[in-house]
């Protein structure tokens, strides 16, 4: 990996856990914490960090946990990525969603005409 060999990446941590909501008690019943485990955290030589999660298709739970993550860790550079070869390989998940929606829209317009 060129960035590791050059020293730009100083650490990669796999399966990085985060607490999105701590455990608590509700009407004498213990409620377990809401946890989130990201795929990997990259630390760079300049001190910056980027947290990555690899997604194929995000379900409702993943989207909810992302919102909770943004709320609890607003300063973290957090990125969802996905690999779609026909769109060029590794891309931001949001970009792939836009491309897919545009393709559906174009297909519907083509079917109408």
Chain segment 46-94, per-residue pLDDT in tens: 999 999 999 888 889 999 999 999 999 999 999 998 888 887 788 888 8
Domain residue spans of the chain: 2-80
CA distance 99 to 76: 26
Check pLDDT > 90 for residue 30: yes
Check pLDDT > 80 for residue 113: no
The reported pLDDT for the residue numbered 1 is: 59
CA distance 93 to 63: 12
């Amino acid at each position: 990996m060129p960035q590791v060999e050059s020293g730009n990446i100083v650490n990669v941590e796999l399966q990085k856990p985060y607490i999105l909501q701590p455990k608590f008690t509700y009407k004498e019943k213990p409620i377990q914490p809401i946890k989130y485990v990201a795929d990997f955290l990259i630390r760079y030589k300049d001190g910056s960090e980027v947290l990555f999660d690899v997604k194929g298709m995000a379900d409702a739970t993943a989207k909810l946990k992302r919102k909770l993550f943004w709320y609890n860790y607003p300063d973290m550079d957090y990125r969802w990525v996905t690999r779609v070869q026909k769109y060029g390989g590794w891309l931001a998940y949001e970009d792939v969603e836009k491309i897919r929606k545009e393709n559906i829209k174009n297909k519907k317009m083509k079917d109408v005409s």
